Amino acid sequence: MGAHRELGEFLRSRRARIRPEDVGYASGAGLRRVPGLRREELAHLAGVSVDYYVRLEQGRNHSVSDAVLDAVAEALRLDTDERAHLFRLARPQKPQDDPGGTFDAPRPGVRQLLDWITAPALVLGRRMDVLAWNRAASALITDFAELPHDERNLAYLHLLHPDIGPRYPDRDFIAREVVGHLRIAAGRFPEDPELCRLVDELTSHSEEFRRYWERHTVRTKSYGVKRVDHPEAGPLTLSYEITHFPQDPDQTLLVYTAAPGSPEETALQAMAKG
């Protein structure tokens, strides 16, 4: 992917979504061949020279200050996730800081925790790889142990797997969340070969993923609702919570839950019992 290219594409995508008239520029002032703000207009709003901003967008400014990044973020009206993404892209991690394509196994204590959780629970890596799971998670989603190693990935399963993917009716919503997560991962580790492979595969075979990837959708999510048409339990609407392990920052715990007394609760309890 390349951090410098990602930075330029991200900035251009955010300039394109701002209407000139919303920030005090006449939309008809001169011929506009592309939507949104021109570079010189964005530079003026951010209080930097046009040359400085151009070098930033081209990835040629390797010592940009916090003040300039804050000013650019403000001019582009970035939200919290987008602002953090801008900082990551402008200051990519060095290759030696990137553990590469490894799939780090969760600690034994984390695996014990999964066994104690009765609700469906998974440990995910930074690329949405499924690193560990409990019995209820296998019953809800699939028997991960039977999958090839490179298919143990929630992004792949939701958007590309021929049997599992169709069970999730909100494909567009799921694609947006997947892109939001993987864009952040790409900003942190742009040279990750496994992440590049996954993105290429999703881009090639998922129209929904491709649409949001091209828009540079960025977002973090720590909770939400997901619908699934389970082959045995039928349609389910489940809540989920995501938490991070402070000492294992690239691993997250995902737990699916249901409202007390709901049919979904009954279904999840049955899955936990096997």
**3-92 fold:** 434 Repressor (Amino-terminal Domain) (1.10.260)
Return the pLDDT at 34: 72
The separation between CA 169 and the C-alpha centre of its own chain, rounded to angstroms, equals 19
What percent of the chain is modeled with pLDDT above 70? 92
Taking only the tens place, the pLDDT of each residue in 86-134 is: 998 988 766 445 444 455 789 999 999 999 999 999 999 999 999 999 9
**108-273 fold:** Beta-Lactamase (3.30.450)
Taking only the tens place, the pLDDT of each residue in 4-26 is: 788 999 999 999 998 888 877 76
* Whole-Å CA distances, 16 to 36, 71, 88, 100, 216: 4, 17, 21, 33, 12
In DSSP terms, which residues pair with 121 in a beta bridge? 255
Average pLDDT, the chain: 90
Distance (Å, rounded) from C-alpha 17 to C-alpha 1? 23
Q: Which of 96-110, 116-130, 220-234, 246-260 has the lowest mean pLDDT?
A: 96-110
For the cut 50, the answer to whether the pLDDT of residue 251 exceeds it is: yes
Q: For the chain, what are the domain ranges?
A: 3-92, 108-273
Orientation angle between helical segments 50-57 and 3-16, nearest 10 degrees: 120
The larger pLDDT score, comparing residue 70 to residue 1, is at: 70
pTM: 0.85
